[in-house]
Structures are given as structure tokens and as C-alpha cells.
């Protein structure tokens, strides 16, 4: 639907319009990722009107080399040769306009201010510095991880998108924000508190667990929680939960006659197809093949 596409204010008309001239090939708007929207585009030559973005935005160039003309904050037009892997950062509320002369392929990532506030563990209004033509391997890697998850049908669930979004927001705050001291310091919690989180995860594997939910158990920001958990367990929360779900699924496949669709729901997968994709990725075979092998 048109309303589900990333949009911005057209400064000439004052109306909300899609950022891109054509619908995206892939979009995360139908997922339940919190605080982030990802669109994958392949567009013909075009020129955008002057737009004012409603969220912080990252463009990640794919494909070949492109000549793109940029205008930022109403200034003069700048010509740039953009290559695969190079990124552009456009802050929320910033005026931007672009023109390109050949087909372009890129990933567009939109980040809500609330995501940054959860990472920074405070209510400040984040101010990013605009950039064009930057090479940042970490942003490229995180963007490609989100694209691959969309292409696979999002088998890893809400927590995966939320984890990557948190890592992306933290990197932007540390590297491209006006106030780089926003990231809270590392914290250390007790073994008892770690056990509390682990027990909660095992008791609620059937639910669509979120970082915010787990972090709230320890009264921490999502980013601080991720750092503490990985330092304590050697795995990110997402990796640990996926591991637990696969082990629970193996047990149910081995010792029960439950239908595979029921097992999928019991380990927190939204559908049998997502469960099968995840199981195959981690185990190297489908749940059905695993059960038949026993």
C-alpha cells in the first residue's frame, strides 16, 4: 500500500509523498521490526523534489558506480560519484534533493528517534551530521544483514531486526552524531540477575521476545543490555535465543509426535515455513528430515 512506503514532506506542496518514485522491491513495513524501516530499491533515472525527511535516513549504494547530484539544506547542487558500499546519512528534518542519470540500486534505512533514545538511555533529541559518499564497512554489513533477512522472509523474528537496528543506531551515535558521549557506560550485573534473564527466556520461548522487554527486566537500555549479555554469555541475546529455540525444537522433534507446525509455534516462530528456514540454516536439514533421521 502507498501509505506503507517511506515518505517525506514535499516542500513545494507541503504534502507527504513517497521518498522514492517507485515502490520498493523489498520492504520491512509488513514486519514487526520496531524503530526501523528498510526498503530495497532499483530505480530508473529521475530527480526528486526537495524533501524534508521525517526520520533519520541512511542510503547504502549497491550495484555499480553512479553519478548523483545532491542538494542539502537548500544549498548548491553537489555532483558525486557514488560507488557500491558508499553511504549517505540524512538527518531527520533535513532538506534534501537528488538527481541521477542511470538506473540506481540502493538500500534505504529509516530510523525512528525513539530507537536512538532507547540506545542512549535518555530522552535527548539526537542530532546526526549529514554525510555523502562515506565508506563505512559496519553500516554496509548491518544493512546487508537486514536485506538478507528480508529476502529470506524474516525467519529470525522480531528480535533479529531489533538487534541489528540497535547496533546500527549505536554506531551512528558514536560516529556520526553531534554529541558522541550519548552512549551509556558499560555496566556489570550479578550472576543472579543473569540467571533471571536466562530463566525468563526459557520460560517464554514461544513468545515474540523483544530487546526492550528483556532489557526492562534489568532496567537497562537495549544497547547496554546487549553489551552486558554478550560479555556475560559470549553470544548476543538474539543468538542465544535462536540457539535455545533450536535446542527446544530438537527435543520436541525427538521425544514427541507433535506436528511440526505446533513445534514451530512452541519455539516462537510465526509460521512453519519460517521455522523450517531457520532450522535448515542452523542444523543443515529441515525439521522433517531431522525427525526422520532419528
Name the pairing type of β-strands 104-111 and 56-62: antiparallel
Q: What is the rounded distance in angstroms from the CA atom of residue 176 to the CA atom of residue 129?
A: 6
Q: What is the rounded distance in angstroms from the CA atom of residue 122 to the CA atom of residue 182?
A: 8
Asked if CATH classification 1.10.10.60 holds for the domain at 188-294, the reply, yes or no, is yes
Please tell me the predicted confidence (pLDDT) of residue 122: 60
Domains 2-180 and 188-294 share a fold: no
Judged by DSSP in three states, 66 sits in: strand
Class of domain 2-180: mainly beta
CA–chain centroid gap for 183, Å, is 19
CB hemisphere CA count around 8 (13 angstroms): 25
Q: Domain boundaries in the chain?
A: 2-180, 188-294
| Global confidence as pTM | 0.86
Mean pLDDT by 10 residues, the chain (294 residues): 75 92 92 90 93 93 88 79 92 91 94 83 74 93 95 88 91 84 69 94 93 90 88 93 96 96 94 93 95 90
Which of 134, 154, 136 is CA-nearest to residue 145? 154
Question: Is 29 exposed, middle or buried, given 0-12, 13-18 or 19+ CB atoms closer than 10 A?
Answer: middle
Amino acid at each position: 500500500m502507498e501509505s506503507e512506503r517511506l515518505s517525506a514532506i514535499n516542500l513545494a506542496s507541503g504534502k507527504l509523498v513517497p521518498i522514492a518514485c517507485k515502490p520498493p522491491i523489498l520492504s520491512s513495513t509488513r514486519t514487526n521490526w520496531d524503530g526501523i524501516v528498510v526498503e530495497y530499491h532499483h530505480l530508473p533515472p529521475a530527480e526528486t523534489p526537495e524533501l524534508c525527511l521525517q526520520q533519520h535516513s541512511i542510503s547504502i549504494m549497491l550495484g555499480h558506480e553512479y553519478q548523483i547530484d545532491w542538494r542539502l539544506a537548500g544549498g548548491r547542487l553537489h555532483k558525486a560519484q557514488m560507488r557500491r558500499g558508499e553511504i549517505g546519512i540524512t538527518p531527520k528534518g533535513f532538506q534534501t534533493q537528488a538527481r541521477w542519470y542511470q538506473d540506481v540500486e540502493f538500500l534505504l534505512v529509516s530510523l525512528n528517534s525513539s530507537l536512538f533514545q532507547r540506545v542512549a538511555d535518555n530522552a535527548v533529541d539526537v542530532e546526526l551530521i549529514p554525510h555523502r559518499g562515506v565508506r563505512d564497512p559496519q553500516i554496509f554489513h548491518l544493512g546487508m544483514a537486514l536485506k538478507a533477512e528480508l529476502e529470506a522472509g524474516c525467519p529470525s523474528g522480531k528480535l533479529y531486526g531489533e538487534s541489528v537496528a540497535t547496533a546500527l543506531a549505536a554506531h551512528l551515535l558514536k560516529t556520526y552524531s553531534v554529541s558522541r558521549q550519548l552512549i551509556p557506560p558499560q555496566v556489570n550485573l550479578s550472576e543472579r540477575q543473569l540467571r533471571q534473564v536466562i530463566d525468563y527466556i526459557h520460560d517464554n520461548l514461544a513468545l515474540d521476545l523483544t530487546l526492550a522487554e528483556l532489557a526492562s527486566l534489568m532496567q537497562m537500555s537495549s544497547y547496554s543490555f546487549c553489551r552486558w549479555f554478550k560479555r556475560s554469555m559470549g553470544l548476543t541475546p538474539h543468538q542465544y535465543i535462536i540457539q535455545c529455540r533450536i535446542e527446544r525444537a530438537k527435543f520436541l522433534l525427538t521425544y514427541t509426535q507433535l506436528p511440526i507446525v505446533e513445534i514451530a509455534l512452541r519455539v516462537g516462530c510465526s509460521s512453519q515455513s519460517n521455522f523450517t528456514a531457520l532450522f535448515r540454516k542452523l542444523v543443515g536439514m529441515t525439521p522433517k528430515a531431522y525427525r526422520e533421521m532419528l
